[in-house]
Amino acid sequence: MIEKHYGDITLNSKLHQQLEQTIARYSIPKDTTRIALNCRNTSYYKTKEGVAPVEIQLKRENSRSDWNLVFVANFTY
């Protein structure tokens, strides 16, 4: 479902597994080629402690292609 290797980059096995489990929970339309996962802990905004917000973007060429991780942003203060 999600490519583990992209060029010289290899996803950590645990992250790869968690991403696959996350997108498997949803019914994604076949013509979708890009998705963004926004992960945030609302208490981080108040305390600036704990897990910082993260956005992860996945992209695929078409409905038969596997997803590729194309973007990760960490919103740390």
Tens digit of each residue's pLDDT (9 = 90 or more) over 9-24 = 788 899 899 999 999 9
Going from N- to C-terminal start, the domains of the chain cover 5-74
pTM beyond 0.85, yes or no: no
Cβ-based neighbours of 61, under 8 Å, separated by 6 or more: 33
Tens digit of each residue's pLDDT (9 = 90 or more) over 34-55 = 999 998 888 888 888 888 889 9
Dist. CA 47–CA 36, nearest whole Å: 25
